[in-house]
Every structure is written in C-alpha cells, then in structure tokens.
Amino acid sequence: MGGGTAPTGGGAAGRGAAAAPAATPAPAVPAGPPTVLRGSRPSSRVLLVGVALVLALLAAVVASVALGSQPVLWPDVLAVLREPGTTEASAIVWDMRVPRTVLGLLVGIALGVAGGLTQAHTRNPLADPGLLGVTSGAACAVVLAIHVLGVTSPSGAVGFALVGALCAGGIVVVLSQRIRVLAPGVTLVLTGSIVTALLASVTSGVLLLDRTTMDVFRFWSIGSLVGRGPEVIWTVAPFLLLGLLLAVVNAPTLGALELGDELGVSLGRHVVRDRLIGLLAVTLLAGAATAACGSIAFVGLAATHAATRLGLGGPAWRIPVAGLCGAVLVLGADVVGRLAPATSEIQVGIVIALVGAPLFVVLARGYLGDRS
C-alpha cells in the first residue's frame, strides 16, 4: 500500500512537472514594452511625414506667389502682400499670382483626394478619377456651350463644365450600381470607359465640324491655372467643399470596402451606401477641378501612389496625404511651367503630363511585377 502511494505521489509530481512548462508563457509580461515601442513608431512616422508634407506645401505656396515669368523682387512681394497698392508689382501679385495659387491649391487637393477614393473603390492601383467620365463630360459640355451658345472665355465655360462633369459622373455611378453581372469595381471601370468613349466621340464630332469651336476649346482643354480669376474660385468652391466633406465621411469605411463587398457586409458596413458616398465625392471633386482648370491628368494617380509609398497606414490615412501630395504636385508643376526657358509659360497640364506619363509606365510595370 505504501508502495502504491509512492507512484501516486510520483504521478502527482509528474503532473506538476508536466504543468510547469505550461507556466513558461507567463514571462509574456516583458513582451509588452516591444509592443508599445512598435506602436509608437507609426505615430512618430506620421508626425514626421506630416510635418514634411506641410513644409513642402508651404514652400510650394511661397514659390507660387514669389516666382513667375514676370520677375518681382522678394522684398517687393512682401511689401505688396502687407500693403496692396496700385503698382505693377501689386497687380502681378494680387491679381495674377494669389488667385492662381489658391486655385492650384484647391485643385491639387481635390484631384489627390479624388484619386485616392477612386483607387480604393475600384480596388485598382492604376485607376484615375477620369475613369468615371468626369473629364469627358466636362469637355463635351464645354464644346457644346462654345458651339451652340458662343462661350469664349474660360470663366464662362466653368458652369457648363461643372454641369457636364456632374451629369457624366452621375450616369456612370447609377449605371454601375444597376449592373450586377461583374464585380462592382470592374463594373464601375467598364461603365466609365463606355460613357467616356461615347462623350469623347460627340466632342470630336463637334470639333471636326467647327474649327472656331476647336480654336476656343483647345485653350481650355490643356489644363491651366492662367486666366482664372476669383469668380472661378467662388463658383467651384462650394462643390469642392461638399466633395471634401463627403470624402471625410467616406474615408473610415474604405478599409472594409477594400476587402470586398462580402467581407464589408460581414463587418457591418452598408456597402452600397458607402460606395455611393465615395463616388459622389469623386464626382464633385474631379468635376469641380476639371471645370475650373480643364483636364489635368495623372495628378490623382501620382498623388495616391506617393501617399501609398509613404506607408502611413490604411486608406483613412492615404486620402488626406494624397490631397497634400496633389497640392504640392500641382503648385510645383505650375511654378516649373512659369520658369521654363520658353517664349511663354508652359501650362500646368503639359508639365504634369510630361512627368505623369513616364510615372504611369513605371507604376504599371511595378504593379504587374508584384502580381506575377
């Protein structure tokens, strides 16, 4: 009996010894500090990148106000900004450069945010706001306004371009929601491509039949900040602000939408409502920007990829960072176009296209390489 109790005690001891390894995960307490340290790095990185972007944007704004094809000394610029007058320097700074800078800032933010939303909703890293037919809709409306109503100035074409952009974007969004054959992102891209091709054919037909319309239209279509006064800014500002407000509302939902509709629904999201809000924001932002300045390609694409490369986190962070990157890109390209060694200024749309086309090829090659 005594010998029987020994194995029992030994078995108890053995079970105690066997339980001892299970207690070894207890030293998981020291693992806490590394987790805290890893959590602090993104916040410091966000702060650092945010400060760098704000400084870059301030530098672009200062350069846009201080530099131009008509030279004005920096002390004169400061004096005119403090006390506007009737001098030539005051007219250059306040009547030309300041409105141009404000418009470039708004358009860059709008196109950057629209590009981020477009890529998130289509789940396509090569998507651009032009896929929604906004640019072609604005161009078609401007051409018809010139041909039928005799509109000749860029400021006069703003209202028509805005209506055309919103109508085209609305048609694409409505049709893409009613067609259920393919995935929503694919349906959106295909619908936008079809509407864009249709509107482009109408635009080309009118331009081929009327040379006068072509001569007026080409000044609007190249994408420029020149000749747009404060009235243009006040016309598009409400639509830009509404689009930015919708983007702020939509940004927190993009993480779930990028996982797909099924997972988005399982996470408690109203996928159709969230997508409609985001696409409406894209239509307002890209439509207002196109109406104000004409077609400026590659800004949404380049700004979104720049924000992604900074690696600040999910889509909720990418959207505002893409807006800042877009503003820096537009203002920087406009300054480069002013200072280019040419008989006249090079329009911002041309400068961005010269940079954006090679960038698109590089991004496409990298995207295809990652997929393979």
Q: How far is residue 363's CA from residue 298's CA, in Å, rounded to a whole number?
A: 12
**Segment 187-241, tens digit of pLDDT:** 888 888 899 999 999 999 999 988 888 888 887 778 888 878 888 899 889 999 9
Would you kindly state where each structural domain of the chain is located, as residue ranges? 71-360
Which pLDDT value is given to residue 44? 78
Which pLDDT value is given to residue 14? 45
Which pLDDT value is given to residue 195? 92
Which pLDDT value is given to residue 3? 46
Q: What contacts 260, CB < 8 A, 6 or more positions away? A: 123
**Low-confidence stretches of the chain (pLDDT beneath 70):** 1-43, 259-268, 313, 342-343, 363-372
Q: Which CATH architecture has domain 71-360?
A: Orthogonal Bundle (1.10)
Which pLDDT value is given to residue 9? 45
Q: Which of 119, 59, 107, 55 is nearest to 306 (CA)?
A: 119
